[in-house]
């Protein structure tokens, strides 16, 4: 792959920058500064996920997300899920992102950051208005059974056996 993976940056530098990001977010921001405050942790996380994918992956994202969940006093898992998805998107687009200069990279990171916020919103909705019961998932096994019955019946209808003999 690229040279970055073969010459990993020290763990100290990665941990240090992520800690700094968490500290920055701990400051008591308010007013417009709060509204405009970037998500330092997410930016640092995605940066390292881009340049050090072997060191910073889903596990780190999940842990940092739990801290963010605590900070905002929301349900645990809200930011954790969103950060994990952000890291996945960066990994998915990694080769593409690495080809661009910082300006274009930033433009391409925009939809990723937007997607992360949308996931935070969706999971937040789930936590505020949790669905009634998990019985709704029972439709999955019953549909699977129906699939088996229909497909099997059609094969028998056409004179084949239920199992592939070949």
Partner 1 sequence: MAAAGQFMFVRRLGPAARLIIWIVLGLACVVLDTRYHALEGLRSGLSVLLQPVRETTRAPGEVASELGGFFTRHRTLQKERDALLAEQRRLRAALDTAADVARENVELRAMLQLDGLPGQKAVAASLLYQGHDWFAQRITLDRGARAGLREGLPVVDGAGLVGQVMRVYPGTSEVMLVSNSEQLTPVYVERTGQRGLAAGSGQGRMELRYMPTHTDVRPGDRLLTSGIDRIYPSGIPVARVLRVTRPQAGPYLRIECAPLAGIDRARSVLVMTSVTGDDAR
Binding site for partner 1 (CB under 8 A): 23-24, 26-31, 34, 37, 39, 58, 61-62, 65-67, 70-78, 80-81, 84-85, 88, 91-92, 117, 120-121, 123-124, 126-128, 130
Q: For residue 77, how many other CB atoms are within 10 A of its CB? A: 16
Which residue, 113 or 155, is less far from partner 1 as judged by CB?
113
Which residue, 28 or 161, is less far from partner 1 as judged by CB?
28
Q: Give least dist CB 20 to partner 1, A.
A: 11
Query: Could you tell me the two tokens for 47?
Result: 């940066």
Q: Give least dist CB 61 to partner 1, A.
A: 8
How far is the CA of 155 from the CAs of 8, 141, 144, 149, 165, in angstroms?
56, 21, 17, 10, 13
Which residue, 2 or 117, is less far from partner 1 as judged by CB?
117
Q: Give least dist CB 33 to partner 1, A.
A: 10
Please state the φ and ψ torsions of residue 125, each to the nearest 5 degrees. -55, -45
Q: Give least dist CB 164 to partner 1, A.
A: 26
Q: Give least dist CB 5 to partner 1, A.
A: 12
Single out the residue of 74, 86, 104, 95 nearest to residue 46, CA to CA. 86
Which residue, 47 or 79, is less far from partner 1 as judged by CB?
79
Give the total residue count for the chain. Answer: 166
Which residue, 101 or 135, is less far from partner 1 as judged by CB?
135
Q: How far is CA 101 from the centre of its chain?
A: 24
Please state the φ and ψ torsions of residue 74, each to the nearest 5 degrees. -100, 180
Question: Rounded to an integer, what distance in angstroms lies between the CA atom of residue 87 and that of residue 94?
Answer: 10
């Amino acid at each position: 792959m690229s040279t970055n993976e073969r010459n990993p940056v020290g763990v100290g530098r990665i941990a240090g920058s992520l800690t700094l990001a968490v500290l920055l977010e701990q400051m008591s921001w308010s007013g417009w500064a709060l509204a405009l405050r970037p998500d330092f942790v997410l930016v640092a996380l995605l940066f390292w996920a881009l340049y050090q994918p072997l060191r910073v992956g889903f596990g780190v994202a999940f842990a940092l997300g739990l801290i963010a969940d605590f900070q905002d006093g929301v349900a645990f898992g809200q930011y954790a899920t969103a950060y994990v998805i952000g890291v996945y998107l960066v990994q998915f687009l990694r080769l593409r992102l690495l080809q661009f200069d910082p300006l274009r990279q930033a433009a391409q990171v925009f939809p990723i950051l937007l997607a992360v916020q949308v996931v935070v919103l969706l999971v937040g909705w789930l936590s505020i208005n949790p669905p009634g019961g998990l019985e709704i998932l029972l439709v999955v096994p019953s549909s699977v059974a129906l699939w088996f019955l229909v497909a099997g019946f059609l094969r028998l209808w056409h004179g084949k056996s239920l199992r592939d003999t070949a």
